[in-house]
Each structure stands twice: as C-alpha cells, then as structure tokens.
Amino acid sequence: MTSYLEGALVRIDPKRNRITNRIAVGDQPCGIVSGAGSLWLNGYGTSTVERVDPRTRKVRRISVGPSPFDVAYDGRSVWTSINSNGTVERIDPATNRVTAKVRTGGAPAGLAFAAGSIWVGSNLGSTIFRIDPATRKVTPVEVGADAPAWLAAKGNVVWVASVSQGTAHRVDPATNAVIATVKVGAQPVDGAIAPDGTVWIPNRGSNTASLIDGRTNRLRGTVRVGTRPFVITEAFGDMWVPSWGGADVRRFRP
C-alpha cells in the first residue's frame, strides 16, 4: 500500500498482519496497481509514475504530466490520469516511456480497467469517459451526478461514485447507460469489488464503507472504518481499508 504523507510504499504480510518493509518513493504517492511484473504508483507531488520491482525494491521514475491522480493497467500498458489538463497518459512498460496522451476533457481522476476499456472518473461535470486502449477512442458516458470521480470495477461490472452527491451509480458497459443508483455515505471515493461481488465504497466524509449487493444493486449495509478512508483494496480474498486521516489499515473478510 502507499503511504501518502510518508512518501513510501508499505508491504504488509497478510499472514501476520504486520508491516514487513517500506520503500521510499516520491512525494504524495496515491494509487497503486500491479502489472508487467512491477508495482506502479502515481506520485501526485512529483509529477511522476513510479515503477517498483517488488523483489529488488528498485524504483524507476517516469515523468508524466503534472500531479497524476491515479493509475490503471490494461494487461499491456499502464495509464495515469492528469487532472489538471484533461488528459490520460499511456506508458509502455517495455520502454518506461509515455507513448500516448489521450484528451478526455473534464478533470480526470480515478481510473479502472474493466470490460476491455479504461474508465476515467472526473472531478468536474457529470460525465465519465471510456477509452478503447487499442484505438484510443474516447466515449463520454453521462452519469447524471456531479463529480463522478472514483470507480469500483471488475470484469464487466462498473460502478462510479459521485463525491459531491453521496451516490454510487452502476454503468452497463454494453449500453454505457446508468442502470442503478444507490445512496451511500458522505463523500464516496475509491472503491473495490469483493470476491463475492459485493461493492465496497469508502465514504471519506462519514468514516464508513457502504456495501452494495452486486446482484440486486441495493445497499446491503454500512461498516465503520478508520478516519477519512479514501481507497479500498481487495487482496488475498479480503478488503483492506487504510485510514487516510490516521495511521492504521483495517482488514475485513467479506
């Protein structure tokens, strides 16, 4: 996991639930994704994407646009969102260089790979964007809610959270239409989908996580988490919730 204030990548042993390593990276690391044998994270404070070899702990910095917001991996390339200039950049892991800059508009925020596409949330407006990785074609997807900035996606399931309205919206990749809207907590942000299909949405403004039933698209319940949660990660069959406003990580078994 990334430690935003510490500027570090933190390794947790899931068998003992203890920190076993720290790797110094750039200022304000945010998102993290695994791909091409490496861990990739966006350095919000350094305008870089950092590639970390988990075996050697070697860190390679790749220059991108100013203040990258998030990262995603599509099976071939790494993508990072540049909130300030309305673009998403593609990085080739073979060369560690930016090979494309795709203009989406809006203020690109959260990223996710699902249904063969890169999905891009936005801090502005009510539209998210869908990028075809092969053609780089951008398809706007109207959500109908302000600031649909962060995503929870897996397989062919795509959810987007409206930070300002406290709602989560399910988008059907076959039609690019919203097919469900669920009221969640205050300031929902970067969620994940559990192995059983439950959608976990962290609510930064209410110190909770909302659980949405993936079959019925209805709120299943709410759990208390740490202070100002920003991201939920699924790993080893469990859901991991770091406290952005604290110094702990909470582990839940779905």
Put simply, whether the predicted model's pTM sits higher than 0.85 gets the answer: yes
Largest separation between any pair of C-alpha atoms in the chain: 46
| pLDDT tens string 108-152 | 999 999 999 999 999 999 999 999 999 999 999 999 999 999 999
Range of the domain at 14: 1-103
Report yes or no on 218 lying in a domain. Answer: yes
Cα radius of gyration (the chain): 17
Share of the chain above pLDDT 70, in %: 100
C-alpha to C-alpha distance for 198 and 135, rounded to whole angstroms: 32
Band of residue 4 on the pLDDT scale cut at 50, 70, 90: confident
| pLDDT tens string 158-216 | 999 999 999 999 999 999 999 999 999 999 999 999 999 999 999 999 999 999 999 99
Q: Judge whether residue 236 has pLDDT over 90.
A: yes
Report yes or no on 78 lying in a domain. Answer: yes
Residue 90 and residue 121 share a domain: no
Residue 151 and residue 46 share a domain: no
* 83-87: average pLDDT: 94
Whole-number pLDDT of residue 20: 94
Whole-number pLDDT of residue 45: 86
Report yes or no on 110 lying in a domain. Answer: no
Q: 212: exposed, middle or buried (C-beta count within 10 Å: 0-12, 13-18, 19+)?
A: buried
Instruction: Let me know: does 119 contact 142? Beta carbons within 8 Å.
Output: no
Whole-number pLDDT of residue 133: 98
Whole-number pLDDT of residue 247: 84
Residue 72 and residue 95 share a domain: yes
Instruction: Let me know: does 87 contact 101? Beta carbons within 8 Å.
Output: yes
| pLDDT tens string 90-107 | 999 999 999 999 999 999
Q: In total, how many domains does the chain have? A: 2
